Amino acid sequence: MNYLVTGGTGMIGNALIHMLNHQDNIISILTRTKHTVQESHIKNINFINEITQTDINNADVVINLAGEPIASKRWSKKQKNTICQSRWQITEHISNLIKQSKNPPSLFISGSAIGIYGRQNDKKIDESFIDYHDEFTQYLCSTWESLALSAQSEVTRVVTLRTGIVLGQDGGALKEMLLPFKLGLGGKMGTGKQMMSWIHIDDMVAGIMHIQDNKQLIGPVNMTANNAVTNEEFSQTFARSLHRPCIFSTPSLMVRCLFGEMSDVLLFGQNVKPSKLLASGFVFKHPHLSPALNSLFNSDS
């Protein structure tokens, strides 16, 4: 099959591309940093620096994972605009090209995040939940999804990936957490009661392929394991996987001083259920946090 992938040099994109490449697919990657892809392990890769109508016409599946990391910097007005536009512009461009195509792809998978729900304490929520909390991540993701879903047609099925915290060694939240936890300085943030919905990188990639193969999956799909945990439990479990203590904590006031408005991502959470994936028969390889973390950081497990 012919795939067009944006964000292919990120953690999810890189893992996805390596999996697709083992199946002798033809893959076009939109990227300005192709050197970050481990080229020694891939073949049949076309690197492009812009997406044209021809690229869309030739693609069977388009997977859009591009976007500025949401928690890499404080949310200044400029940074929030960068976060938004890095997602909205490329998504709108792809959707417009799909709508103009005489040979549109059969599937358009576009990124989103569970941040669309906003802060929800510990209530269990799935794709049917619409009582969103009005905040920046909700605004960001709602617009992002709307732009992607505009490409839906009788020919093109559109799915938006409402992704939780992706667990992997090569990026994401764990990469940021690893050093302090290895030094024995890790611990809960704020009260530690905020829910953290997570997914192992292997299940993230497998879930995307499951979506491709199951045509009944349309619209938003939660990409999280079915077992969210509190921030305190996550911190303790991560520390155990590294054989380190977990005795420190960061007060909410300090988190706010350090990260400003972005601290909302750290101090509030959601207990998200992957109802659509489970109902369609998807089986998680890593449904529970401890073995999921051990698979990444503890070779003896």
Is the pLDDT score of 269 beyond 90?
A: yes
What's the mean pLDDT in 75-102?
97
> Helix, strand or coil for residue 37?
coil
What's the mean pLDDT in 184-194?
95
pLDDT digit string (tens) for 129-139? 999 999 999 99
Is the pLDDT score of 72 beyond 90?
A: no
Report the range of poorest mean pLDDT among 23-27, 36-40, 44-48, 120-124.
Answer: 36-40
CATH for 2-166+199-223+272-282?
3.40.50.720
Query: What does 102-113 look like in DSSP terms, one character per residue?
Result: SS--SEEEEEEE
| CA–CA gap between residue 198 and residue 178 (Å, rounded) | 16
Q: What is the mean pLDDT of the chain?
A: 93
User: What per-residue confidence (pLDDT) applies to 200?
Assistant: 98
Find, among 238, 230, 246, the residue nearest to 298 by Cα.
Answer: 238
Count CB-CB contacts under 10 A for residue 71. Answer: 15
Neighbouring residues of 250: CB distance < 8 A, sequence distance ≥ 6: 187, 188, 189, 190
Query: Which amino acid type is present at position 267?
Result: L
Is the pLDDT score of 3 beyond 70?
A: yes
Q: Work out the angle between the directed axes of helices 11-21 and 201-213 (0-180°, nearest 10).
A: 60
Is the pLDDT score of 282 beyond 90?
A: yes
4 in Cβ contact with 28 (< 8 Å): yes
- Structure confidence at residue 41 as a pLDDT band (50, 70, 90): low
167 in Cβ contact with 296 (< 8 Å): yes
What's the mean pLDDT in 64-68?
95
Tokens of 87: 């997602």
Tokens of 117: 């729900």
Tokens of 136: 């920046």
138 in Cβ contact with 118 (< 8 Å): yes
Is the pLDDT score of 301 beyond 60?
A: no
Q: Where are the domains of the chain?
A: 2-166+199-223+272-282
Write down the H helix ranges in the chain: 11-21, 53-58, 77-100, 136-149, 172-182, 201-213, 231-241, 252-259, 263-267, 275-279, 289-297
| CA–CA gap between residue 187 and residue 193 (Å, rounded) | 12
pLDDT digit string (tens) for 199-242? 999 999 999 999 999 999 999 999 999 999 999 999 999 999 99
| CA–CA gap between residue 20 and residue 206 (Å, rounded) | 11
Is the pLDDT score of 39 beyond 70?
A: no
User: What per-residue confidence (pLDDT) applies to 40?
Assistant: 42
Neighbouring residues of 139: CB distance < 8 A, sequence distance ≥ 6: none
Is the pLDDT score of 58 beyond 80?
A: yes
What's the mean pLDDT in 154-162?
98
